[in-house]
């Protein structure tokens, strides 16, 4: 049953315009980060690590949270259109499967985004003329960052489930990203879902590794995930639908 | 026209568009309160300039998204209700376009006036040196309004043209980020990005001394050539919006 729900979600993604946002919203911070790195190359001596800091400074707090917001709003927008909720909720599957299937799809999109971010980082380094070998931590940054991104997706999917507008949850995602910047600066990153992406990607602290213990990061992810799934389950089961 | 505007106000009820504007202001208040928390005598001397430096920067990243949200809320109500074909039998398309633009402009205008009030209140409560710089605040209000209304026109046209609000929102996000990130690049580049004009029209600039870590703010005269470009783009976007929306097949 879950496989069918998943298949339906992937079908809904066909011909979607989110690939435009996917391509450009990750490309912009990479370009600016690389240009900024090239301008300040005299004081940035740590090659790939400094380039990573420049890339993540722009992407983790601004563009990637907003991009995840676009993914999640898009994933729910067909349900909110016309009278589609009636069809969705009469499908012979538990209603929470709809949320879980969307969470899985957003996880796949997040993984693809991280691959794209990684490719852009490597290409930027070559263009900037970096001669040292690639940092061994790169796959870890991307993978742990993807975990943080999936938590933001879980929260955004709840927001886009509740708010029927496409745009409002994306605005909240942007504000969440900025709040993540403040939380990271104050040392409270692990407590805020929107900071987990930056925390996981070791943004601005590439050589220092994760800024909290791996256990605290994992616990925060699991707690947020559990709360979001429980919330979506209750909302889908108890709330009457609004159509049209 | 009055009826068209009245019907827009009716449609805007319960859409919670004010929430988007309130959240923008809440973030800016929090940011300004945080940034002006522990100020010494030298900081207080530059307090007004600090606020008028930070607000346009925050605007350049947040306003494009808030404007995209406002335009999207005004446009998607017609798409969801399949109302355009009915509305256009009762009024010409340009009147509907104008009514929506005026309605959206009201949100933007109120947001910018409240921003100015926030600067004055923070300055007075923190004890910034000197009276509020009314001339700088006035030109901040005017230039921010000119850029915001131009972006609102672009976003509104996209929101009305496409059923799928992902397109107008993606354009708003990409433009906003391009405009913000371009502020780190030479000025010749961001002159070509409409979303960059929040930064271009800033009258307060910062000089940071790398050796002493001392920050000095200074003012520049208003960049009239950039403001003229904004007004020309506004006029072109208004005409293009009318033509494109008028020709849209409903």
Task: Tell me whether residues A77 and B180 touch, CB distance under 8 A.
Answer: no
- Pairwise CA distance, residues A67 & A28, whole Å: 12
User: Would you state the pLDDT for residue B147?
Assistant: 95
Task: Tell me whether residues A28 and B166 touch, CB distance under 8 A.
Answer: no
- Pairwise CA distance, residues B150 & B190, whole Å: 16
For residue A122, pLDDT beyond 90: yes
Mean pLDDT of the region A218-240:
93
A163 close to A218: Cβ distance less than 8 angstroms: no
- Pairwise CA distance, residues B66 & A86, whole Å: 31
Q: Does A227 touch chain B (CB under 8 A)?
A: no
- Residue A244 inside a domain? The answer is no
Residue in A35, A70, A171 closest to B20 by CB: A171
Q: Percent of chain B at pLDDT above 90?
A: 25
Closest residue of B to A176, CA-based?
A: B27
Neighbours of B97 (CB within 10 A): 21
> Which of B22, B54, B65 is the best substitution to test chain A (most A C-beta atoms within 10 A)?
B65
Using CA atoms, how far residue B132 sits from A43, A84, B120, in Å, is: 39, 54, 6
Q: Does A60 touch chain B (CB under 8 A)?
A: no
User: Would you state the pLDDT for residue B150?
Assistant: 95
- Pairwise CA distance, residues B48 & B218, whole Å: 11
Task: Tell me whether residues B68 and A167 touch, CB distance under 8 A.
Answer: yes
- Residue A214 inside a domain? The answer is yes
- Pairwise CA distance, residues A213 & A82, whole Å: 46
Confidence of residue A206 (pLDDT cuts 50, 70, 90): low
- Residue A172 inside a domain? The answer is yes
User: Would you state the pLDDT for residue A244?
Assistant: 63
Neighbours of A10 (CB within 10 A): 12
> Which of B15, B81, B174 is the best substitution to test chain A (most A C-beta atoms within 10 A)?
B174
Confidence of residue B105 (pLDDT cuts 50, 70, 90): very high
Neighbours of B190 (CB within 10 A): 23
Structural domain containing residue A211 = 2-238
Provide the angle, in degrees to the nearest 10, between the axes of the packed helices B47-80 and B17-35.
Answer: 160
Mean pLDDT of the region B60-78:
86
Long-range Cβ contact pairs of A90-98 (< 8 A, separation 24 or more): A91/A5, A92/A1, A93/A1, A93/A2, A93/A4, A93/A5, A94/A1, A95/A233, A95/A236, A95/A237, A96/A229, A96/A232, A96/A233, A96/A236, A96/A237, A97/A1, A97/A2, A97/A5, A98/A5, A98/A236
**Residue contacts between A and B (CB atoms, under 8 Å):** 104
Closest residue of A to B170, CA-based?
A: A21
Instruction: Tell me the nearest-neighbour CA distance from B135 into chain A, angstroms.
Output: 30
Closest residue of B to A57, CA-based?
A: B181
By CB atoms closer than 10 A (0-12, 13-18, 19+), residue A88 is middle
Task: Tell me whether residues A25 and B174 touch, CB distance under 8 A.
Answer: yes
- Residue A202 inside a domain? The answer is yes
Q: Which of A149-153, B111-115, B166-170 has the highest mean pLDDT?
A: A149-153
| Structural domains of chain A, count | 1
Model confidence pLDDT, tens digit, residues B180-223: 888 777 777 778 888 889 988 988 888 877 777 778 888 888 88
Model confidence pLDDT, tens digit, residues A155-192: 999 999 998 888 889 888 988 998 898 888 888 888 99
Backbone CA torsion sign across A88, A94, A95, A99: negative
Task: Tell me whether residues A167 and B170 touch, CB distance under 8 A.
Answer: no
Residue in A25, A172, A182 closest to B177 by CB: A25
Chain A residues whose CB is inside 8 A of the B12 CB are none
Neighbours of B106 (CB within 10 A): 15
Q: Does A12 touch chain B (CB under 8 A)?
A: no
Chain B residues whose CB is inside 8 A of the A170 CB are 65, 68-69, 169, 173
Task: Tell me whether residues B182 and A167 touch, CB distance under 8 A.
Answer: no
Model confidence pLDDT, tens digit, residues A55-78: 888 889 888 999 999 999 999 988
Chain B residues whose CB is inside 8 A of the A24 CB are 170, 174
Task: Tell me whether residues B165 and A32 touch, CB distance under 8 A.
Answer: no
Task: Tell me whether residues B173 and A21 touch, CB distance under 8 A.
Answer: yes
For residue B229, pLDDT beyond 90: yes
Q: Does A119 touch chain B (CB under 8 A)?
A: no
Task: Tell me whether residues B174 and A28 touch, CB distance under 8 A.
Answer: yes
Task: Tell me whether residues B76 and A17 touch, CB distance under 8 A.
Answer: no
To the nearest whole number, what is the mean pLDDT of chain A? 88
Question: Helices in B81-131 by DSSP H: which ranges?
Answer: 84-90, 93-126
Of B146, B172, B154, the C-alpha closest to B230 is B146
Question: Helices in B2-92 by DSSP H: which ranges?
Answer: 2-12, 17-35, 41-45, 47-80, 84-90
- Residue A137 inside a domain? The answer is yes
Closest residue of B to A185, CA-based?
A: B34
Of B171, B166, B163, the C-alpha closest to B77 is B163
Confidence of residue A101 (pLDDT cuts 50, 70, 90): very high
Instruction: Tell me the nearest-neighbour CA distance from B131 into chain A, angstroms.
Output: 30
By CB atoms closer than 10 A (0-12, 13-18, 19+), residue A73 is buried
> In this structure, what token pair is assigned to residue A174?
């942007």
- Residue A185 inside a domain? The answer is yes
Task: Tell me whether residues B184 and A171 touch, CB distance under 8 A.
Answer: no
Per-residue HEC secondary structure of chain A comes to CHHHHHHHHHHHCCCCCHHHHHHHHHHHHHHHHHHHHHHCCCCCCCCHHHHHHHHHHHHHHHHHHHHHHHHHHHHHHHHHCCCHHHHHHHCCCCHHHHHHHHHHHHHHHHHHHHHHHHHHHHHHHHHCCCCCCCCCCHHHHHHHHHHHHHHHHHHHHHHHHHCCCCHHHHHHHHHHHHHHHHHHHHCCHHHCHHHHHHHHCCCCCHHHCCCCCHHHHHHHHHHHHHHHHHHHHHHHHHCCCCCC
- Residue A243 inside a domain? The answer is no
User: Would you state the pLDDT for residue A64?
Assistant: 93
Confidence of residue A209 (pLDDT cuts 50, 70, 90): low
Chain A residues whose CB is inside 8 A of the B62 CB are 174-175, 178
- Residue A179 inside a domain? The answer is yes
- Pairwise CA distance, residues A98 & A92, whole Å: 11
């Amino acid at each position: 049953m879950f496989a069918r729900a998943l298949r339906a979600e992937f079908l809904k993604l066909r011909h979607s315009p989110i690939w435009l946002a996917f391509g450009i919203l990750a490309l912009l911070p990479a370009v600016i980060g690389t240009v900024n790195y090239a301008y300040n190359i005299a004081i940035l001596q740590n090659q790939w690590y400094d380039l990573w800091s420049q890339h993540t400074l722009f992407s983790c707090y601004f563009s990637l949270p907003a991009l995840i917001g676009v993914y999640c709003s898009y994933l729910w927008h067909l349900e909110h259109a016309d009278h589609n909720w009636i069809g969705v909720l009469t499908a012979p599957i538990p209603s929470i499967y709809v949320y879980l299937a969307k969470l899985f799809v957003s996880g796949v999109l997040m993984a693809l985004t991280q691959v794209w971010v990684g490719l852009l980082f490597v290409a930027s380094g070559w263009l900037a003329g970096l001669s040292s070998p690639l940092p061994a931590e790169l796959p870890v940054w991307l993978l742990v960052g993807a975990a943080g991104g999936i938590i933001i997706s879980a929260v955004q999917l709840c927001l886009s489930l509740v708010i029927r507008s496409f745009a409002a949850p994306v605005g909240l995602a942007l504000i969440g990203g900025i709040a993540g910047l403040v939380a990271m600066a104050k040392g409270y990153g692990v407590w805020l879902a929107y900071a987990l992406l930056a925390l996981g990607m070791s943004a601005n602290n590439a050589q220092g590794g994760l800024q909290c213990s791996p256990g605290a990061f994992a616990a925060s992810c699991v707690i947020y995930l559990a709360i979001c799934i429980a919330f979506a389950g209750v909302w889908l089961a108890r709330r009457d639908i609004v159509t049209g | 026209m009055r009826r068209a505007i009245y019907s827009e106000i009716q449609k805007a009820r319960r859409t919670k568009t004010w929430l988007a504007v309130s959240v923008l202001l809440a973030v800016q208040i929090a940011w300004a309160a945080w940034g002006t928390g522990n100020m010494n005598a030298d900081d207080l001397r530059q307090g007004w300039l600090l606020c008028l430096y930070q607000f346009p920067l925050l605007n350049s990243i947040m306003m494009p998204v808030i404007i995209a949200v406002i335009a999207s809320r005004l446009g998607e109500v017609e798409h969801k209700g399949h109302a355009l074909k009915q509305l256009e039998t009762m009024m010409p398309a340009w009147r509907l376009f104008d009514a929506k633009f005026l309605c959206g402009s009201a949100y933007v205008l109120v947001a910018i006036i409240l921003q100015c009030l926030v600067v004055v209140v923070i300055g007075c409560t923190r004890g910034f040196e000197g009276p509020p710089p009314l001339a700088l605040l006035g030109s901040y209000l005017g230039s921010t309004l000119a850029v915001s209304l131009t972006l609102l026109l672009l976003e509104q046209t996209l929101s009305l043209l496409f059923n799928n609000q992902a397109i107008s929102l993606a354009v708003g996000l990409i433009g906003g980020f391009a405009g913000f990130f371009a502020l780190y690049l030479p000025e010749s580049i961001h002159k070509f990005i409409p979303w960059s004009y929040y930064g271009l029209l800033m009258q307060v600039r910062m000089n940071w001394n790398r050796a002493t870590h001392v920050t000095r703010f200074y003012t520049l005269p208003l960049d009239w050539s950039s403001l003229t470009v904004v007004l020309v783009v506004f006029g072109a976007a208004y005409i293009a919006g009318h033509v494109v929306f008028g020709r849209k097949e409903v």
